[in-house]
Chain A
Amino acid sequence: MRLIRLLKHDLGREISLWAEEGVISTAQAEEICSRYGLDYRNLGRRSFGYQMLVGLGYLFIGLALITLIGANWDEIPRAVRMWGMILLTLGANLLGLIRFRRGQISAAVNWLFLGALFYGASIMLIAQIYHIDEHYPDGIFWWAMGVLPVAILMKSALLMLLAVNLGFIWFFVESFLDFYPVVFPIFLAAAAWYVCRAKQSNTLFLTLVAGVGLWTEYTLAWLLSDKPGFHVGGENVALGVGLFFAFDGLSKWLAGSKNSTSAADYGALLGLYVLRFTIITLFIFSFHYPWTAIISTGWKMPIPAFAISFLLCASAVWLAYKAEESIVSTAVFALLFLVGLLAIMQVEGKEYARSFQFADNIVLVGTGVWLITRGVQSSISHYFYLGVMTILTTGLLRYIDFIGDYVGTAILFAILAAILLGTARYWKSRMANTGTTS
């Protein structure tokens, strides 16, 4: 997956320089730009930076007000404080509406954003004035629900980010108090609608993916618990890894999209983050403790957990097949995961944790080797450097945190050396056969 899609505005600036210097023609520059969804004629007119600064400015106005409320001014009568906030909320929304009617969409969004912050501040102020302390997540929920429709109506990324982030805060505080956030999918559906149907927003897309993962995991933890609340078991790890596979397949399928530059951008972005989180997860499981924790936690729903993981892996392979991208590697990694999952479901003693830790370290180095070879063969530089970093970090971590004792770690290092040297030899012979000189 090439990162160039995520740096396309920098590419656009380069293309316009090439056109100015006569390296390429204007028609060619326009054609290259259109491949990345860029408008060559308006490359220098991006207002994103300006809009971001204005949005942040309004955010700080809202924060200033919320901090003032925190000061708890007893000197001002209750009614004045409350009606003052309600009038501010109404006023900001009214100004937003007036600007919208005049066709000043950006200004309208900024005023409505401020109105949304005032609305939230009003909820807090009324709770403060009347000493309400009954299930505070409700206040955040009604704040989010009051902002979401405005975000949909205005098709505004700023308002949608505010609504969805409030939805996330509500999700966390509600589940922290052992309540299941039933209606959280409303916020996910709104974010999905925005990124698919309204406008492109990479931040909202990543937020959506994170939200789907979190909601699925929390739902499973809720189902695993015997009493109202959440119980995290080995099933959550199985589901999490399965989701990574599915997201990886989805990223390949989106990146291969010929008709939509937005889909291709989302695919590149998702592929990058899935890869980073996969490496981080493999590093976490390269230690002894996570494996002993999984083995000692036990399995409450082993068959459904395996079935879901299998379906997610199958969907990843199917999506890779549809995209005609990394089918073999996806299938091999999925098979490794499913075999590993079956194996850990069978064992009961903590003494087996060491074997799984050993296997994870081999997979880590294998992933590093795969990234280096793919990086060089396909000229994808970030694959190459990530592969090198993965192998070096594995060596460093195992040097600090031994597997077993000195002998165990020495055996691991010897196996890793054999893998690396074997791959290098295979590579050399393959290049000799194809006549490659690089």
Chain B
Amino acid sequence: MNRKIITAGIVLVVAFQMTVLFAEYLGAVYPLWTGKEIRLKTTPVDPRSLFMGNYALLDYEISTINGKDFASGKIPRAGEYVYVKLKPGQEGWYVFDGVDPEKPASGTFIRGRLQSGHTSQDIQRVRYGIEAYFASKEKATALEKDLRKGGIAVVMVAGNGKAALKEVVAKQ
């Protein structure tokens, strides 16, 4: 390979790297820019990511669903998208209102992936990509202490159901 081709190749690869970074950035911010704000009940614990440092791991009420709640009666395979329908609850946060493998035509819903390793057909775990709240070690520990009695996650949900975590506050 001559020098010109390698130079052009490296420029293209760096352009590819920048595209990946901007795609990641845009994927993260578009629910924040275009989404609807909802509040979800959550409980944090604080592990540490090898790559990204300390974070509070957030467990939501809607993280565990019942397999019987699938409208079609058929549970999708692990790793596939599911859409959890939400409705405003009496206590000020959104609560579970059904689940479907297909994107609902209307209403408030959040997109997640069905997890493997569930113990029975009745208990299914769903991840929405908003389970980690990254913070410094001190802040993550303080957050866990403040939210011991439960917290509220402020989440932005885009039109396609993709969610972004905005902040976590103590339950009033």
Interface residues in chain A, defined as those with a beta carbon under 8 Å from any beta carbon in chain B: 66, 69-74, 82, 86, 89-90, 93-94, 96-97, 100-101, 112, 115, 119, 122-136, 139, 142, 145-146, 149-150, 153-154, 177-179, 227-229
The verdict on B169 contacting chain A, using a C-beta distance below 8 Å, is: no
| Contact of B129 with A130 in the complex, beta carbons under 8 Å | no
The smallest beta-carbon distance between B27 and chain A, in angstroms, is 8
The one of B3, B10, B54, B113 in contact with A93, judged by C-beta atoms closer than 8 angstroms, is: B10
Instruction: Kindly specify which of B36-44, B85-93, B101-109, B133-141 makes contact with the partner chain.
Output: B133-141
A101, B7: Cβ atoms closer than 8 Å:
yes
A103 to chain B, nearest CB (A): 8
Chain B 113-147 near chain A by CB (<8 Å), digits 1 or 0: 10011000000000111111111110100000000
Q: Complex formed: what's the CA distance from A135 to B131 in Å?
A: 11
**Are B79 and A72 interface neighbours, CB within 8 A?**
no
- Would B25 and A146 count as touching, CB distance under 8 A? no
CB-CB under 8 A for A124 and B9, given A93-B14, A133-B129, A142-B20 = no
Q: Cβ of B136 and Cβ of A72 under 8 Å apart? A: yes
Q: How many residues of B contact A (CB 8 A)?
A: 47
30 A–B contacts from the bound complex (CB under 8 Å): A70-B54, A71-B136, A72-B53, A72-B134, A72-B137, A73-B136, A86-B18, A97-B14, A100-B7, A101-B3, A101-B7, A119-B21, A124-B51, A126-B21, A126-B24, A126-B25, A128-B134, A129-B28, A130-B29, A130-B165, A131-B55, A131-B130, A131-B165, A134-B129, A145-B20, A154-B6, A154-B10, A178-B78, A228-B77, A228-B116
User: CB distance B18 to A90 under 8 Å?
Assistant: yes
Residue of A nearest to B51 (CB): A124
Q: How far is the CA of A100 from the CA of B6 in the complex (A)?
A: 9
The docked-state distance in angstroms from the alpha carbon of A158 to that of B49 is 26
Does B71 touch A at the CB level, under 8 Å?
A: no
Q: Which listed residue, A122, A123, A131, touches B132 by the CB 8 Å rule?
A: A131
Which of B29, B52, B79 counts the most A-chain CB atoms under 10 A from its CB? B52
Contacts of B9 in A (CB 8 A): 149, 153
| Smallest CB separation, A154 vs chain B (Å) | 7
Contact assessment for B131 and A153 in the assembled complex, using a CB-CB cutoff below 8 Å: no
Q: Is B7 within 8 A of A97, CB to CB? A: yes
A153 near B1 with CB under 8 A, answer yes
Inter-subunit contact A132/B116 (CB<8 Å): no
Q: Is the CB of B14 within 8 A of A74?
A: no
Which B residues lie within 8 Å of A227 (CB)?
77-78
* Residues of A contacting B18 in the complex (Cβ-Cβ under 8 angstroms): 86, 89-90
Instruction: Name the CB-closest residue of A to B131.
Output: A133
Smallest beta-carbon distance B81→chain A, Å: 11
Residues on B with beta carbons closer than 8 Å to the beta carbon of A129:
28, 134
Please give 4 more A-B residue pairs, beta carbons under 8 A apart, in addition to A128-B53, A130-B28, A227-B78: A72-B136, A93-B17, A100-B7, A134-B129
Contact B20 A146 (CB under 8 A): yes
Chain A binding surface SS class? helix
Q: Which of chain B's residues have a CB closer than 8 A to the CB of A179?
A: 79
Using a CB–CB cutoff of 8 Å, the interface residues on chain B facing chain A are 1, 3, 6-7, 9-14, 16-18, 20-21, 24-25, 27-29, 32, 49, 51-55, 77-79, 113, 116-117, 127-137, 139, 164-165
CA distance A115 to B79 in the complex (A): 33
Q: Which residues on A sit within 8 Å (CB–CB) of B28?
A: 126-127, 129-130, 132
Closest 8 CB pairs of A and B: A134-B129, A70-B53, A130-B28, A133-B132, A131-B165, A178-B116, A146-B17, A128-B134
A136-B165 Cα distance, complex, nearest whole Å: 16
Known: A149-B16, A179-B79, A228-B79. A112 touches B21 (CB 8 A): no
The distance in angstroms between the C-alpha atoms of A69 and B52, with both chains bound, is 7
Decide if A90 touches B14 in the complex (CB within 8 Å): yes
Complex alpha-carbon distance, A74 and B54, angstroms? 12
B113 x A150 contact (CB < 8 A): no
Contact residues in B for A94 (Cβ distance below 8 Å): 14
Within the assembled complex, what's the spacing in Å between the Cα atoms of A93 and B21?
15
Given contacts A133-B129, A228-B77, contact A89 B136 (CB under 8 A): no
Complex contact B10–A131 (CB within 8 A): no
Residues of B within 8 A of A86 (CB): 18, 21
**Residues in B neighbouring A97, C-beta threshold 8 A:** 7, 10-11, 14
Interchain CA distance A213-B160 in the complex, whole Å: 41
| Given A70-B54, A124-B51, A128-B53, A146-B77 contact (CB < 8 Å) | no
- Is A96 within 8 A of B20, CB to CB? no
Q: CA separation between A129 and B135, bound complex, in Å?
A: 9
Shortest Cβ gap from A116 to chain B (Å): 9
Please report the C-alpha to C-alpha distance between residue A69 and residue B55 in the assembled complex, in whole angstroms: 12
A228 to B129, CA, bound (A): 21
Residues on the A chain within 8 Å of B116, using CB: 177-178, 228-229
Which chain A residues border B24 with CB–CB below 8 Å? 123, 126-127, 132, 139, 142
In the complex, the chain B residue whose C-beta lies closest to that of A72 is B136
Separation of A86 and B19 alpha carbons in the complex (Å): 11
B135 near A72: Cβ-Cβ < 8 Å: yes
A132 in contact with B129 given A71-B136, A73-B136, A178-B116 (CB within 8 Å): yes
